Amino acid sequence: MATVLVRNGRVVTASESVLADLFVDGEKVALVGQGLSLPADTVIDASGCLVLPGGVDAHTHLDMPAGPLPSADDFEPGTRAAAFGGTTTVVDFATPAPGESLLAALETWRRKAESKAAVDYGFHMALRGLGGATLAEMAHLVRDEGVTSFKLYLAYPGVLQVDDATFFRALLGARECGALTQVHAENGGVIDVLVRRALARGETAPRYHALTRPPETEAEATARAISMATLAGAPLYVVHLSCAAALAHVTAARDRGLPVHAETCPQYLFLSIADYDRPGFDGARYVMSPPLRDTADQEALWRGLAGGDLEVVATDHCPFTLADKARGRHDFSKIPQGAPGIETRMMLLWDGGVRAGRIDAPRFVELTAAAPARLFGLWPRKGTIAVGSDADLVVWDPERETRFSAETLHMRVDYSPYEGRVVHGGPVFVLSRGEVVVDHGEWKGRPGRGQFLKRAPGPARP
C-alpha cells in the first residue's frame, strides 16, 4: 500500500480551517496533525495552498441519451474533466428506457461507467412512472444496491414528465424505504403551451427557449412539489433551482422546519438571460432547463448560498456539441438542452464566491463536497478530511490563474459557456483514494479506477 504525506497546507473542511499535515495510507486518510514527519512514498508540499476534500458533484448526465443524441461526454472524458476541476465523486442519473425496470437501468449505467470512470461514482435513479413492481424495486435499490435517491420530472410532457398522483405515490414510496426524492420542478404542461404559441408566431430563435419557460413555471412546480412532499411527510430535494421566485418557496418551507433541500448550479450564478441574445446562433450554447435568468435572480441565489437555504452547488453537466445544438437552428424547441460544467464548477465558485467575499472557504467546502456527501449517503467517506475518510484530496492554490477555453478544458465538447473568462483559484494536485490523478495540470489517472459507491439512505428523513 502506497503512502502519501501532504505537508504544510491549510486543511479546510466544512467546519474548520487549520494548518496541518496529512498522512495517507493506501486509500484512506490515516493521520491529521501538525509537524508529521513519517516516511512516505510520495511527499507533497502544500505550502501556500489549501487542502480540501475532493468535490462531490451530485448532478451529472454522462453518456445520457437525449432523444436521438447521447450527451457528448461519457464516463471517461467526463470523470477525467471532473478530476481536473477538483471533483473526485460524481453522482449521475441512471434513467430507465420507457418500460425498462429500475434494476435493468442500474445495470446499464453501471456498465457505462465501470471500465471508464476515473473517479468514484454513484447513481440516482430517475422514475418515469410507478408501475406495479416499481415500489418493490425502489426498496430493493435502497436496501441492496446503494441507490438511495429517486428523481422525478414535472416537465417534459410525453417524455419524462409524471403526473401529480405518480409524484405523490413516489414520495410515499421513498419515505417508506428511507430514500430522498429529487424533483425537476418546472410546469411542463404550461411550458408546452407557451412553446407552441411562440413557434406559431414564428418565434424560433434560442432566446424564446427562456421566454417560454418563465420563472413562474419553475416557482409553481417548486411550490407544488413542496406541498406534496409535506402531505407525504417525505423529504424533498429540488435540483438545479434557478430563480428567486422558486427559492422563496424553499425558504418558506425551511422556515417552517420542513426537510426541503435545494441545489443550484454555476450557470445560474455566472450566466444570464442576456446570453441568449449573443450574435448568430450562439445563444443555443446556453439552452438548458431551467433557462438562464435575470441578474436579480443571481443575487437571490448568492444570498441563498450564503444564508443556507441553498445547500449544494452541482453542475447538471450535460454537454452537446455545436453540431448537435444546430439541430434547433430553425426551432429553439429542437435544440438539445444542456451545457458542460463538470470541470469548471469549483473554480467558478471559488473565484466568484470566496474571492469575491460572498462565502468563506469552509462554506465553499460545504457547498461543493460536504453537503452533497451528507444528503446523498456518502458521508463521512466522502466530503470531509478525517481519519478513516477516503483520501480524496485537492491541493488548491487560491491564486492559480486559469483562462477558460474549450481548447484547454478537458470536457469532450467544442465550446465553453465561459470562453475567455479568467478565474483565480484551482487545483494543483488531485488525489482520488490516495492516488495522485492530477499533478499541475497533468493527467496521472486512468479509466476504470473509479469505483461504484453504494450510498446509505441519507440523514434527510424527517
Alpha carbons 129 and 161: distance in angstroms, whole number: 9
Residue nearer to Zn ion on the CB measure, 126 or 428: 126
CB 445 within 8 A of CB 435: yes
- Minimum CB distance to Zn ion, residue 64 (Å): 8
| Listed residue (440, 446, 410, 413) closest to 426, CA to CA | 440
- Minimum CB distance to Zn ion, residue 59 (Å): 6
Residue nearer to Zn ion on the CB measure, 36 or 66: 66
Residue nearer to Zn ion on the CB measure, 13 or 95: 95
Alpha carbons 276 and 61: distance in angstroms, whole number: 23
- Minimum CB distance to Zn ion, residue 305 (Å): 19
Residue nearer to Zn ion on the CB measure, 134 or 315: 315
Residue nearer to Zn ion on the CB measure, 263 or 390: 263
Residue nearer to Zn ion on the CB measure, 126 or 394: 126
Q: How is the beta sheet containing 120-126 ordered, strand by strand?
A: 55-60, 87-94, 120-126, 149-153, 180-184, 236-238, 260-264, 312-313
Alpha carbons 325 and 52: distance in angstroms, whole number: 36
| Listed residue (10, 14, 64) closest to 368, CA to CA | 14
Q: How far is CA 211 from CA 28, 179, 188, 202, 330, in A?
A: 49, 35, 14, 14, 16
252 CB-contact burial (10 Å; exposed 0-12 / middle 13-18 / buried 19+) = middle
- Minimum CB distance to Zn ion, residue 337 (Å): 9
List residues near Zn ion by CB under 5 A: 316
- Minimum CB distance to Zn ion, residue 124 (Å): 10
Residue nearer to Zn ion on the CB measure, 184 or 363: 184
Residue nearer to Zn ion on the CB measure, 57 or 316: 316
Alpha carbons 236 and 225: distance in angstroms, whole number: 8
Q: Strand 260-264 relative to strand 312-313: parallel, antiparallel, unpaired?
A: parallel
- Minimal CB distance residue for Zn ion: 316
Alpha carbons 213 and 154: distance in angstroms, whole number: 13
CB 16 within 8 A of CB 362: yes
- Minimum CB distance to Zn ion, residue 156 (Å): 11
- Minimum CB distance to Zn ion, residue 362 (Å): 27
- Minimum CB distance to Zn ion, residue 97 (Å): 17
Alpha carbons 461 and 375: distance in angstroms, whole number: 10
